[in-house]
C-alpha cells in the first residue's frame, strides 16, 4: 500500500509505527509533528489524522481550485489528507498525531457492499477539525496497540478495527452515506442547486456567505459544492460572492447617497477599508474616486 512517511518530514519524530506488524489495510504512525508548510501529492490512499495532544493551527487547500480552510486542530479531532487530490498545507504548532493511511481498495469494496453501487472510486470528505466519538474510540484502540510491543496475534483485532472504521467513514463521510441518511437533498449539487446558490447570494449579500454556510443551506458538503460550482461556472464560490458584492457596491455608489461605510456593510464587507481594498483591486479606483468619476 502506497503511503507517506510522515515521520521523515523535517524534525518530526516517530513515536510508534505499524511497519513489520503484519497489519492489513492500514499503515499507522504515532508521530510528534513540527510546524510545516508544503504541498502533498496524492498517493492513492487517504490518510486519516487524529490529534492526540496539543492543538495546532492548520491551513489547507484541497485541489488547485478548492477553498482555503483555516482552523485550530484540537486534541480529539480528525482531519484527512485526501487520496486522489493534491493538497497544500501550513501547520503552526507542535502536536502528536496518529496518522492512519487506509487502503482505498477496502473503502471502495465497503461502499459497494453497503450501497450496491457500481464499481467506482469512493472519496472521503472529513472536514478539518471533525469530532466523532465512535471514530475516536476506534482510533484510540489502534493507538493503544501501536504503543504495545509487536504481537502477531494483534493483527486480526486491528483488521476488525479497521473494517469498523472504514464502515463508519463510508457511512458518514461520503456523498452516498449522507444521501442515504437524510435523503436526496444531500447528493452532489446539480445545476438547480447551483441556481439556488446564486439566488441565495443575491438575497443575502450582507450576511455570512462562507462556503460552509452556503453548503449547509443546500445540504451538501463544502468540498462538493466547491467542486461543482467551479465545474459549472468556472469560478470559486468565494470569488463569485466577492464579484457580486462589488457589483452591488458599484450600483449603490452610483445610484444612492449612502455613505461608503453603509454601502460596505450593506454589501457584506466588514468595514469601509475592507471594501476599499477589494474595490481598488477590481477597478483601480477607491469607492470615493469611483463615485466622483460618475462611472
Task: Based on the fold, state whether residues 143 and 203 are members of the same structural domain.
Answer: no
Q: Does the pLDDT value for residue 66 go beyond 70?
A: yes
Task: Based on the fold, state whether residues 189 and 167 are members of the same structural domain.
Answer: no
From the list 115, 110, 209, the residue with the least C-alpha distance to 164 is: 110
Domain boundary among 157, 178, 199: 178
Q: What is the pLDDT of residue 116?
A: 67
Give phi and psi for 276, each to the nearest 5. Answer: -60, -40
* Residue 1 belongs to some domain of the structure: no
Residues, the chain: 295
Give the confidence band of 212 by pLDDT, cuts at 50, 70, 90: confident
CA distance 148 to 151: 8
Task: Based on the fold, state whether residues 168 and 194 are members of the same structural domain.
Answer: no
DSSP strand pairing (13-17 vs 26-33): antiparallel
Residues of the domain holding 264: 184-294
Task: Based on the fold, state whether residues 131 and 31 are members of the same structural domain.
Answer: yes
More confident residue, 95 or 227: 95
Please list the residues that pair with 78 across neighbouring strands: 50, 130
Q: Does the pLDDT value for residue 109 go beyond 80?
A: yes
Q: Which ranges of 118-153 does DSSP label H, i.e. alpha helix?
A: 133-147
Task: Based on the fold, state whether residues 39 and 174 are members of the same structural domain.
Answer: yes
CA distance 35 to 92: 5
Task: Based on the fold, state whether residues 147 and 260 are members of the same structural domain.
Answer: no
Amino acid at each position: 500500500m502506497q503511503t507517506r512517511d510522515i515521520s521523515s518530514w523535517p524534525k518530526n519524530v516517530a513515536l510508534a509505527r505499524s511497519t513489520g506488524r503484519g497489519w492489513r489495510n492500514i499503515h499507522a504512525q504515532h508521530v510528534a509533528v513540527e510546524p510545516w508548510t508544503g504541498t502533498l501529492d496524492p498517493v492513492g490512499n487517504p490518510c486519516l489524522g487524529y490529534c492526540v495532544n496539543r492543538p495546532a493551527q492548520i491551513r489547507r487547500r484541497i485541489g488547485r481550485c478548492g477553498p482555503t480552510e483555516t482552523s485550530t486542530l484540537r486534541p480529539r479531532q480528525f482531519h484527512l489528507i485526501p487520496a486522489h487530490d493534491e493538497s497544500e498545507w501550513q501547520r503552526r504548532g507542535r502536536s502528536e498525531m496518529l496518522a492512519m493511511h487506509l487502503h482505498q481498495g477496502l473503502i471502495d469494496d465497503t461502499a459497494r457492499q453497503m450501497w450496491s453501487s457500481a464499481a467506482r472510486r469512493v472519496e472521503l470528505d472529513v472536514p478539518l477539525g471533525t469530532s466523532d466519538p465512535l471514530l475516536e474510540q476506534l482510533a484510540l484502540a489502534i493507538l493503544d496497540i501501536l504503543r504495545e510491543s509487536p504481537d502477531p496475534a494483534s493483527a486480526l483485532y486491528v483488521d476488525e478495527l479497521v473494517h469498523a472504521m472504514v464502515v463508519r467513514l463510508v457511512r458518514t463521510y461520503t456523498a452516498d452515506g449522507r444521501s442515504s441518511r437524510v435523503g436526496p437533498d444531500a447528493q452532489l449539487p446539480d445545476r438547480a442547486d447551483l441556481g439556488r446558490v446564486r439566488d441565495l447570494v443575491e438575497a443575502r449579500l450582507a450576511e455570512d456567505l462562507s462556503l460552509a454556510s452556503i453548503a449547509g443551506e443546500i445540504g451538501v458538503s463544502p468540498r462538493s459544492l466547491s467542486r461543482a460550482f467551479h465545474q459549472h461556472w468556472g469560478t470559486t464560490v468565494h470569488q463569485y460572492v466577492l464579484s457580486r458584492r462589488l457589483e452591488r457596491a458599484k450600483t449603490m455608489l452610483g445610484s444612492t447617497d449612502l455613505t461608503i461605510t453603509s454601502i460596505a456593510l450593506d454589501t457584506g464587507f466588514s468595514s469601509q477599508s475592507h471594501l476599499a481594498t477589494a474595490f481598488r483591486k477590481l477597478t483601480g479606483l477607491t469607492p470615493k474616486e469611483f463615485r466622483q468619476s460618475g462611472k
